[in-house]
Amino acid sequence: MSISNSTELICFLVLAFVVILGSLGVVLLGNIVYSAFLLGGVFMAVAGLYLLLNASFVAAAQVLVYVGAVNVLILFAIMLVNKREDLKPIPGLQLRRFLSAGICLGLLVLMFRVVLITPWSLPGPAAIGEGATVRIGEHLFTDYLLPFELASVLLLMAMIGAIVLARRDIQTVDVGTGNEVNQSLIEKAGTPLLVDKTTT
């Protein structure tokens, strides 16, 4: 085994260890701030895995999008909602945890089995390395042109929707009749599904 191979193996093992331990921490830790920071670590380690696969562009995109945007957004959301509220204990939580752990382990075993009995065509395609950015650009403007353009519509629509849901100015008058309105369903609830906190 040459030095480069063994370095690659060691890097892979360290990164894989970080990913597995970090994601277990994200799921299992009780404090959501720890989870959020660990999630950032997991994203960074995944970017490291991409680098190992010689996909530097994808690694950079991963860091920019997931660590730089998604994770920071999650942290902002947590910091903005700094309201400590004691939730009602869920009945049978322990049993539920065991059940979901059992299902997840079953899935894991199934995946392992399938991965082991599948005849993989190895080695896979050789990595292009630095040429990858050019290749991705060409794909985006030829055979992936339609999803690329559609993604812009998706983002536009998501932005408009977020603004509509978040903005404060409320319409108070029905344009057609001049009656008062309150932006709720026309069908009045027989029994409320959620307890309305504004009235109690």
Q: Which residues bind other proteins (CB under 8 A)?
A: 110-111, 114-115, 117-119, 124-125, 134-135, 138-139, 142-147, 150-151, 153-154, 156-158, 160-161, 164-165, 170-177, 179, 181-190, 192-194, 196
At residue 44's C-alpha, the angle toward residues 104 and 37, to 5°, is: 75
Smallest separation, CB 60 to other proteins (Å): 20
Q: Which is nearer to other proteins, 2 or 171 (CB)?
A: 171
Q: Provide the minimum distance between the beta carbon of 1 and other proteins in the complex, in angstroms, as a whole number.
A: 26
Nearer to other proteins (CB atom), residue 89 or residue 192: 192
Shorter beta-carbon distance to other proteins: residue 3 or 117: 117
Q: At 173, phi and psi to the nearest 5? A: -125, 135
Q: Which two tokens stand for residue 145?
A: 């042109």
- Closer residue to other proteins, CB minimum distance, 6 or 129: 129
* Comparison of 1 and 166: residue with beta carbon closer to other proteins: 166
Measured over the CA atoms of residue 17, residue 22, residue 4 and residue 127, the dihedral's sign is positive
Backbone φ, ψ for residue 180 (5° rounding): -75, 145
Residue 178 main-chain phi, psi, to 5 deg: 85, 5
Shortest gap between Cβ of 193 and other proteins (angstroms)? 5
Quote the least distance from Cβ 113 to other proteins, whole Å: 8
| Residue 41 burial (CB count, 10 A) | 18
CA-closest candidate to residue 38, choices 78, 69, 67, 77: 67
Let me know: does 45 contact 66? Beta carbons within 8 Å: no
CB of 16 to other proteins, least distance (A): 18
